[in-house]
């Protein structure tokens, strides 16, 4: 009989049992957050991973039982923390992109947050009229405010602008032709393609003009007996420049009723105010579209309007009423939390305090000088805190912020940036370290530096950012936490 060799077989026998893992202090901590079932799955996966590592000889034969237990616990913790990080987490947006689609578009105003929490998170008057004690109209005040601010006869709110466009086309153009300029057959955000939405709604496309130039006569010539609508789409995320032409909305508004057609504008971003002084020259102001004579306009609630995800539909009252009566509306309507936030956001527009109250507008209207002062103050404070021979080198430099995402293509605003260089980390490692901090900081890489744009960092987040950067100044590659 050969002597049992210390080797793969014997070390496999040292793998801790599930029970042993469950007895550790770390397991007791995780169970409180994750629950028993999840903990068990994590412990099993940790053992499995140990077994594989031993088979692949990634763990040496001399490893002790307690080392294996420690290793299992560590891998369990790592899996749990990775899963946690994959959930919805608050982040500090230091990219300077104001309407950042991947980071949740518009941040809410303080009043909107408060309204969600205090007015809508429990029982509320969603469909209840306090005056009469009877059933009330869902979202009545939010929709009334929306109509008032956009100077429309009526308004109705649905899940998002894609839903709004789909609903409008379904209710008014199903089985009919929709005339649209070739320059407006755009794709917005991956899965919203104007021709596809049109086809889904049961309408058919009557494209006119060319990519860069479409005349009123092109629209006129295309109209047939079966045409039901003229559609104008705001190409929100790209721009045709140079030799371009398209008829004014008011010219289309004159043509439409003559041919017994509806004029519908998908305005996208939802500017309630003229934002040209902040560099947004091409954003349709909804009230202007209405006064130019569109019958219906749709736009997002969480782009330039600065509220929550929602699709706003405004226009003539009989049309809005038909939308509300359509069975598809029931499937696309919004919940009480959205109504609460929208109502509070629109209140700021009604009071004319939106520029100082609604974060998107506040960030948009910040001057370069104001950001530069704030950034310099922050840099000075940071400089005083971190050691002279610290690993983190900071500098304030000139740069540009982008408005968005799904809005205002190419609109840039001058800004000041906090530029960071870390002597022990590359710019890629530093960007990652920021992203992996307790509150993730999302920053940009500019050449060999990581840059922080305070335009999109709320003042209430500054201390947190300060602490994160202070910690990073003492962080070296040897001890990644
Ligand atoms: C952004 C946008 C949409 C889609 O809006 P969501 O609110 O994201 O659904 C539709 N049309 C236009 C013109 C847009 O700009």
Q: Is the CB of 160 under 6 A from ligand 1?
A: yes
pLDDT at 409: 64
> What integer pLDDT is reported at residue 3 of this predicted model?
44
Res 122 pLDDT > 90 = yes
Q: How far is the CA of 206 from the centre of ligand 1 (A)?
A: 21
C-beta of 268 in contact with ligand 1 (< 6 A): yes
| Predicted confidence (pLDDT) per residue in 54-75, tens digit | 988 888 878 899 999 999 999 9
Which residues is 193 bridged to in the sheet? 187
Q: Which residues pair with 262 in a beta bridge?
A: 229
Q: What is the mean pLDDT of residues 411-417?
A: 91
Report the percent of the chain where pLDDT is more than 90. 83
Specify whether the CB–CB gap between 445 and 428 falls below 8 A: yes
- Dist CA 166 CA 195 (whole Å): 11
Quickly state the pLDDT bin for 240 (edges 50, 70, 90).
confident
Q: What is the pLDDT of residue 405?
A: 65
Which pLDDT value is given to residue 297? Answer: 98
CA of 11 to the centre of ligand 1 (A): 59
- Bridge-partner residues for 394, per DSSP? 420
Quote the Cα angle for 436-440-444, to 5°.
90
Sign of CA dihedral 333, 338, 342, 343: positive
User: Is residue 408 very low, low, confident or very high in pLDDT (cuts 50, 70, 90)?
Assistant: low
Q: What is the mean pLDDT of residues 396-423?
A: 86
State the CB neighbour count (10 A cutoff) for residue 205: 15
Using the mean position of ligand 1's atoms as its centre, give its distance from the Cα of residue 177 in Å: 22
**Closest to 265 (Cα-Cα) out of 177, 143, 145, 180:** 180
pLDDT score of 479 more than 70: no
Of 300, 313, 409, the residue with max ligand 1 atoms within 8 A of its CB, to mutate for a pocket test, comes to 300
The confidence band for 117, taking pLDDT boundaries of 50, 70 and 90, is: very high
Q: Which atom in ligand 1 lies closest to the alpha carbon of residue 269?
A: 15
Does 184 have pLDDT greater than 60? yes
Q: How far does the centroid of ligand 1 lie from the alpha carbon of residue 237, in Å?
A: 10
Atom 6 of ligand 1 has which residue's CA nearest to it?
Answer: 161
pTM for the model? 0.92
Residue written as tokens 């190419």? 410
The residue whose CA has the least distance to atom 13 of ligand 1 is: 268
Instruction: Pick the closest to residue 178 from 230, 247, 218 (CA basis).
Output: 230
Closest approach atom of ligand 1 to CA 235 = 13
Is the Cβ atom of 233 under 6 angstroms away from ligand 1? Answer: yes
For atom 11 of ligand 1, the residue with the nearest CA is 268
The proportion of the chain whose per-residue pLDDT surpasses 70, expressed as a percent, equals 95
161 CB under 6 A from ligand 1? Answer: yes
Q: Which tens digit of pLDDT belongs to each residue from 247-302?
A: 999 999 999 999 999 999 999 988 999 999 998 888 899 999 999 999 999 999 99
pLDDT beyond 70 at 2: no
- pLDDT in the model for residue 52: 92
């Amino acid at each position: 009989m050969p002597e049992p060799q210390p080797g793969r077989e014997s070390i496999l026998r040292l793998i801790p049992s599930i029970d042993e893992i469950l007895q550790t202090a770390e397991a007791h901590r995780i169970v409180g957050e994750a629950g028993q079932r999840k903990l068990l799955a994590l412990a099993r996966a940790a053992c499995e991973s140990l077994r594989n590592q031993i088979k692949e000889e990634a763990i040496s034969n001399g490893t002790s039982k307690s080392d294996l237990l420690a290793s299992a616990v560590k891998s369990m913790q790592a899996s749990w923390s990775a899963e946690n990080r994959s959930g919805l987490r608050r982040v500090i947006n230091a990219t300077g992109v104001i309407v950042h689609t991947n980071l949740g578009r518009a941040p809410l105003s303080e009043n909107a947050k408060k309204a969600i929490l205090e007015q809508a998170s429990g029982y509320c008057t969603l469909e209840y009229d306090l005056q009469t004690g009877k059933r009330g109209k869902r979202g009545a005040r939010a929709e009334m405010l929306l109509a008032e601010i956009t100077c429309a006869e009526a308004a109705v709110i649905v899940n998002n602008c894609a839903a709004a466009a789909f609903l409008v086309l379904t209710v008014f153009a199903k089985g009919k032709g929709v005339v649209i300029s070739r320059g407006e057959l755009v794709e917005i955000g991956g899965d919203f393609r104007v021709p596809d939405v049109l086809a889904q709604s049961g309408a058919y496309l009557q494209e006119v003009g060319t990519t860069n130039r479409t005349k009123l006569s092109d629209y006129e010539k295309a109209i047939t007996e079966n045409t039901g609508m003229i559609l104008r789409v705001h190409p929100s995320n790209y721009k045709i420049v140079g030799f371009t032409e398209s008829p004014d909305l008011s010219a289309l508004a004159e043509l439409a009723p003559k041919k017994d057609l509806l004029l519908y504008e998908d305005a996208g971003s939802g500017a309630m105010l003229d934002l040209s002084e902040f560099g947004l020259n091409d954003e349709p102001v909804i009230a202007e579209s209405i006064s130019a004579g569109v019958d219906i306009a749709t736009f997002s609630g969480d782009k330039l309007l600065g509220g929550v995800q929602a699709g706003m539909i405004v226009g003539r009252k009989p049309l809005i009423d038909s939308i509300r009566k359509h069975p598809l509306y029931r499937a696309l309507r919004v919940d009480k939390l959205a109504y609460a936030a929208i109502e509070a956001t629109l209140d700021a527009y009604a009071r004319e305090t939106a520029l100082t109250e609604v974060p998107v507008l506040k960030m948009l209207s910040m001057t370069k000088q104001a950001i530069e002062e704030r950034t310099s103050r922050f840099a000075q404070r940071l400089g005083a805190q971190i050691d002279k021979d610290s690993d983190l080198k900071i500098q304030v430099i000139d740069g540009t912020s982008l408005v968005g995402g799904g809005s205002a293509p190419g609109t840039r605003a001058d800004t000041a940036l906090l530029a960071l260089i870390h002597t022990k980390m590359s710019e890629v490692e530093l960007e990652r370290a920021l992203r992996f901090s307790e509150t993730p900081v999302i920053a940009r890489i500019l050449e060999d530096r990581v840059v922080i744009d305070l335009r999109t960092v709320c003042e209430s987040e500054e201390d947190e950012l300060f602490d994160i950067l202070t910690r990073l100044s003492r962080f070296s590659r040897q001890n990644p936490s």
